[in-house]
Amino acid sequence: MCARYNLRMSPAKLAQVFVTVREIEFRQRFNISPTQTVVAIRQEDGKRVPANLRWGLVPMWSKDPKSGPPLINARGETVAEKPAFRSAFKKRRCLIPATGFYEWRTEGKAKLPFNIHLPKDEPFAFAGLWECWDKGAEPLESCTIITTESTGDMAKLHDRQPVILHRNEWDVWLDPDLQEPEPLEAMIRPWDGKLVFDSIDPAINSSRNEGEQFFKPGTEKL
């Protein structure tokens, strides 16, 4: 599962890392939560284009974007068949940039958060889907993060983890002309590189606590 993450980089750095055609205005985020506006990368005319999307996919056939819980995650094992996701999986895939994501270890009544990231805080991309709901006064563009089973140390915290794409997979994932499920499903797998697990101050448990002042390292080990 992935229900909270961070994007600790500038618009200029994001444009450089993801080689987008332009910068997009946003501020560094330390505690991104469901239903908030997030940065995503899509492909348009063969180029990577940044966009602001609401986190929590609203299917195009939904009558009301507020009905039901937000679809913040899509299970990779069924994403090609589920009515809410199958059209987006075929035609509307995106990258969701991040520098880390959070999972919690339960200790009695306490929940200890861990920031899970790549070595040296290297930016990465979740495998995402996006959709446009156009039944309201204004179109609503939204997204979801694909998940898969957890392995290794990740399984100590949760049985699901977000799909992280290798950089050489980014353009393949974004290609709207690629609609056969097999090569796409091959990219939906647990991360096979190194992950770093840093405990974080429990203040991050509240989605209201957004800002660098709440991003404090803890002392616990996984």
Active site residues: 2, 103
User: Which SS3 state, helix, strand or coil, does residue 15 take?
Assistant: helix
With CA atoms as reference, report the closest residue to 50 among 60, 38, 61, 62.
38
Answer yes or no: are the C-beta atoms of 40 and 50 closer than 8 Å: yes
* Backbone phi and psi for residue 11, each to the nearest 5 degrees, phi listed first: -55, -40
- Give the span between the Cα atoms of 217 and 73, in whole angstroms: 27
User: Which SS3 state, helix, strand or coil, does residue 153 take?
Assistant: helix
Q: How many Cβ atoms from other residues are within 10 Å of residue 193's Cβ? A: 10
- Residue type present at position 155: A
- Give the span between the Cα atoms of 56 and 71, in whole angstroms: 5
- Give the span between the Cα atoms of 154 and 3, in whole angstroms: 15
